[in-house]
Structures are given as structure tokens and as C-alpha cells.
Structure 1
Amino acid sequence: MIKCGRPPKGQESQSRERVLDSALQLFLEHGYGNLSMETVAREAHVSMRTIYSHFGNKAGLIGAVIRRCSDQFVDSLPEIGEPREALLAFARQFISRITQPDAVRIRTILTGESLRFPELASQFYEQGPQRTLDRLTAFFSKHQRTGYFVELNPQRLADHFLSCLRNERFHKLQLGLAPIPNEDEIEDWVQQAVELFLNGSVAPNRKQQTITNN
């Protein structure tokens, strides 16, 4: 007997994750323009109706893929604790994720296809960089109220911090001109970027305290 109606919540969640897994691999293989929703449904062993009910359209599906990837470092910024250690922990997650081969490949595809598919560019920015920027902005705003950071627009602080992390080495990596960094190289990258940023953003009355604590 065929059962109708919505699947149990656990099964529904599993099917959604299966669709995201398949969509990521197919996106890496075919790009955005050449990827059909029918192909995703077939590879994920779900119906087209399931995909559309979860994600709406192809742009929404890829946006969900990007959001799941960005969750891994957006959620790594602690709500409490010493700001320097929080930024170090975030930076380790961020750089480790964006320098992975799949992440580099995703950005390459997005760069190549975003002009033809503005909905792709919009989904990528909203679900990836914008969420990261918003999370960091809230972090800096919170610690400005304690007097830790200089009185600068917190979004600008977040922008400058991300620019320290996505430096020239990252651009070379994106172009295939630098190898994937190992753990020691990532740690060196993190330490230099965070210390450089803090040197220009910690409030003057906190700098000596920060130096003493380190």
C-alpha cells in the first residue's frame, strides 16, 4: 500500500541533506548553468516536488548549499569570551574552510557564471559572505560597548578583518598559483592576520592590557 502525505520529520530532514549533498557534487562537476533540477532529483533519489518544496528553485537550492557551508565558520564565533581568542578561533575555521579544494572550486564557478546568472551571485553573497559579515559586525558592536575596540563603524571593522584573512595569498590560491596550505601554514596565516588586525583596531587603553596578557 502506497502511503501518501508528508514523510516523517526525520526522513524529511534526511532527504533534504541528501539533496544538498548531491547538489554540491553536481554543482562542482557541471557548474550552475548546465545543472538541471532533474539531475539533482535523480542523483538524490527524491522527487522534483520534494526539491521544489524545500528550495523553491535552482538558485534557492544552491543558496542552501552555500548556507550549509558557511554555517561551519559563522557559528564558530563565540558569543562570550576574550575577543582575541574568539577571532583566532573564527579565523582558523574560516581559512581552513575557504582554502579547501571544493571551496576554491565553488568560488571559481561562481566568479565565472555570476554575470550570466545574477540570481546565483545574489544567493551566494546573501548565504555566504553577507551572513559572515553580519555575524562579525554583531561581534564587534558587542565588544565596542565594553570598550575593547575603537569607535569605528562595526561593519567596517568586520570588512577590514575579513580583508586581512582573504589576503593576497588567498587570491593566488584562487588562481591556482599557490598550493593548499597545511595546518602549520594556516596557523601562521591566522596568527599574523589577527595580530595585524588587532594592532589597528584595539582601543588605545586596551592595547597594553592585551600585550600584557599575551
Structure 2
Amino acid sequence: MDRAPAATPATGTPATRAPAATAAPHTAPTVVKRGRPASGDRARRRQIVLDAAVRLFLERGFEATTLDDIAMAAHVSKRTIYSYFGDKACIFTAAISALQDGLRASADHDSLQDVAAHVVHTLLSDDAIGLHRLIVAESVRSPALAADFYRNGPERTIALLHEHLGPHGDRGSRDRATAADTAASTSAATTTTATATATATAEQLYSLLLGEPHRRRLLGLDPAPGLPASRRRARQVLRLLDLDDSREDRADTTTKG
């Protein structure tokens, strides 16, 4: 026979029984997926490492900067750096390539004058000048690194200018649309000669675009030019080489007016 619940001492009222505890529903443990980061996340991390490396190169010098320093500054492991780049020399080469990638992206589909202005603005920037100083200091100890710098830096800039010079190295971007027709109507020997001429013109244009302003920047005598000053420099050089297609634009405007 069931007994009545005992009264509580304080009130004398019957105590009520607490309901039986129910078991909490079973939930599956959260599974944390591990593996290679997504491509976008990988690219972001790679850029963080590259930015940290360039900053340390410019502050301490190439030789004094270690992979441990870069890993600490980028908050990654050395293993991550190896997977993204390899050794320290590869990081330096990647920094040069990144400058060129940015230059090509900004100059895509632009006129020769715009491309020339972007060349001046990019290659006289603080980062570009700092990296150039570094390679001059390292070239004696590491000729291979110097060769990589030239192949991924100046050679790519000259090639970019060559693309915008047209088939004969004497015109701006307005003639690039007819380059295929011109090449088809000329002999192989003539095409080879024209290509050599365009290459020589691109090299001259590259040298003149940088010229004395580049020397003064390397010596720390001048600040980095803004885009308006870079455009003025580009226009002056193109006029000197008779490559300023803006003069034709002005002539067309005058005729139409």
C-alpha cells in the first residue's frame, strides 16, 4: 500500500515528488573536417606570407631574413611556406612576379601611352625600388637569383612594351588590330627583321622610361612619383621616340573640328 508523502518541516504541507529526470537526446559529435584549404583561402594565405616576406626583406635585407622570421611574421609554419613557395629565393622571385602580374593586369587593353605610364608608376614605387636594391646587393653572392630577377622583372616588362608597339616597333596600340594581316603579307625574313626592330625599340623605350628618375630613386634622392607625374614622364619619352599616338588623336580632333 502506497504511503502518503511526508509533510515538509517548514510548512507542514505534504511534499510533492519531483518528476523523474529524462535523458537528454543523443546528438552526434561535430566532425571537424581537415585537409587542404580551399583555393581562395590558400591564395589569401599565400599573399599574407608574400607580404610579410617583402616587408622583412625591405626592413632587414635578404640575407638577414630567415624563413623562421617570415613564418613568425605571417603566423604560419615553415612547412606552409615550403608548400607555397619553396625556399627563400623562390619567395623573392614570387615578389618580382607579383609586381609584373599587377603591371600586366593594370595595362591590359590600354594604349601604349597608358602602358608606359603604368610601367613608370609601378617600377618607381617603393616596393619595386626596394627589391631592386636588394638584388643589386645579392647579385655577387647569388648570380642565379639575379638571373631570376631579370627574367621575371625587366624581361617581362620589355615583352609587355613589345606587345603594345605593333609589328614594326614604330606604332602604338591602334595598329595592333592589323598586326596579323601585316605578318601574313610579309616574308619570313621581313617578319624576323621587324620583330628584331620592335624588340630593340621596346628595350630603348624601357630604358628611357626609367632612366635618370630610376637612378635617383635607387639613391633615395626622390620620392615615388604619383600617377600624373608618371603619365607626364611616359608622354615625354614617347614623343622623344616618335611613338606618341596621342598626337594623332589631337590631329584627328583638329580635322574633325
**Normalising to structure 2: TM-score of the pair?**
0.68
Contact 2:113/2:234 (8 A) holds in 1: yes
Q: Partner of 1:159: helix, strand, or coil?
A: helix
Looking at secondary structure, tell me which structure has more helix per residue. 1
Q: Which runs of 5+ in 1 are unaligned?
A: 80-84
Give 1:82's aligned residue: none
Change (3 A) 1:180 1:5: closer
Q: Which of these residues, 150, 153, 156, is aligned with residue 125 of structure 1?
A: 150
Query: 1:137–1:191: structure 2 CA closer, same or farther, 3 Å change rule?
Result: closer
CA distance in 2, matches of 1:156, 1:210: 26
Conserved 8 A contact 1:72-1:93: no
Which residue, 152, 158, 163 being the options, matches 2:202? Answer: 158
Separation in structure 1 between the aligned mates of residue 97 and residue 70 of structure 2, nearest angstrom: 18
Q: Deviation of residue 135 (structure 1)?
A: 2.4
Larger radius of gyration: 2
Counting matched residue pairs gives 202
CA contact (8 A) 1:62 1:123 kept: no
Q: 2:160 aligns with which of 135, 144, 156?
A: 135
Q: 1:6 to 1:182 in 2, by over 3 A?
A: closer
Cα offset, 1:65, TM superposition: 1.1
Q: What is the TM-score when the length of structure 1 is the normalising length?
A: 0.80
Q: CA deviation at 1:118?
A: 2.0
CA distance in 2, matches of 1:182, 1:131: 22
Q: 1:87 to 1:138 in 2, by over 3 A?
A: closer
Structure 2 residues not aligned, in runs of 5+? 1-30, 168-175, 183-192
- Pair 1:89-2:114 in alignment: yes
Computed over aligned residues only, the root mean square deviation of the Cα atoms, in angstroms, reads 2.9
Alignment check: 8 A CA contact 2:52 2:70 kept: yes
Superposition map of 1:50-69 within 5 A: 50-69=80-99
Are 2:116 and 2:161, in contact at CA under 8 Å, matched by a contact in 1? no
Give the Å deviation of 1:165: 0.1
- Whether 1:178 and 2:217 are equivalent positions in the alignment is no
Q: Aligned partners of 1:5 and 1:165: how far apart in 2?
A: 47
